Structure formats: structure tokens, C-alpha cells
Amino acid sequence: MGILAMALAGCGSQPTIDASQWMVNHPGTHTVDLKIEGLYSSAQQSNTFDGFTDGQLVVTIPVGYHVNMDFINKGPIPESIGIYKNHHLAFPGAGQSYRQVVTFPTAGLLPGQSQSYSFTASQVGTYTLADMLNGDPNNTPTSGVWDIVKVVPSGNPSMSS
């Protein structure tokens, strides 16, 4: 790693992303396995998804890819997850529905629990990967626990910060 790369890696409070830790691409079957961990970061003083908050993580998925998303709550409080567009799940099976999360006080996963979701990224667009549990009616995610999912016309699945 060059001196500039090391200097840039140390700047800011957001970690750098090692996509291989969170994503496995199966190009032959147009499938991607995505691992999302909800956990508390004392350095950021916030709960995070894979160490990122406030839209700093971008997950890119080619349209038509099947996504297996495993979510584990390693944080200290209940958390939910979903990929949303305008108060609705962006794709059937892409997490807990917004209505379920805001209606039921027992929605979300308790600390230590995990849940798997499976969906097809069927529409090109930009979506919000978010914890909507205890969010507000204006579609604002809980604290900074949200990131971005971009479904693109072609290419390979990736993660960037």
C-alpha cells in the first residue's frame, strides 16, 4: 500500500470496506450472497450496518441478480432491515415491510438474532437499505442506520464506501 493510500485509509471516522467479508458473487447463477451486520460502533457512537452509517456504504447489484441477504443483529438494541423505496420494500422479500416495522412493537430482531431474506433485484434504481424500527413517518431511518443499494443495468455486484 502506498503512502497516499495509507493516509487516506486513516482519514475520517468511516472504515474502509473489504467487500469479500460481506459479499460473495456467484456470476454463473447471477446470485450474490450479502451479509449485513447490525452492530454498535463506539468510535462512531452509533449503530451501523457492516460498520457504516448515514449512506456511506453503497451496495451495487446488477438488475436480475438474485440476492440472499443474511442479517444478524450484533448490536445492543432491536433492529430491523429492509431495502426500501417510498415506504415500501423495493422488492418482495427484501426485508421486513415498512408497515410491519412501524405497526408492531415486537418487529425487528433482538440482539443476537439473525434472519435471512431472499429477493431478485428486478428494477434499476437507487434504494435505501435501512433500519426503520422506531423511525419516523417521514420515512427517516433509525438514527444513521441506513446505507444505499444501487441496482444497475449490468456489471458485477460490489460494495464501496
Distance of CA 136 to the CA centre of its chain: 19
pLDDT of residue 41: 87
Provide the 10 A C-beta neighbour count for residue 88. Answer: 13
Q: Domain of residue 116: give its range.
A: 35-160
pLDDT in tens, 105-157: 778 899 999 999 999 999 999 999 998 886 655 666 667 788 999 999 999 99
For residues 150 and 60, the answer to whether their CB atoms sit within 8 Å is yes
pLDDT in tens, 16-73: 778 889 999 999 999 999 999 999 888 888 888 999 988 999 999 999 999 999 999 9
- Closest Cα partner for 115 from 38, 18, 24, 8? 38
69 in any annotated domain: yes
Quick check: is 19 in a domain?
no
- 156: helix, coil or strand? coil
Domain containing residue 46: CATH number: 2.60.40.420
If one counts the domains in the chain, the total is: 1
CA atoms within 13 A on the CB side of 152: 14
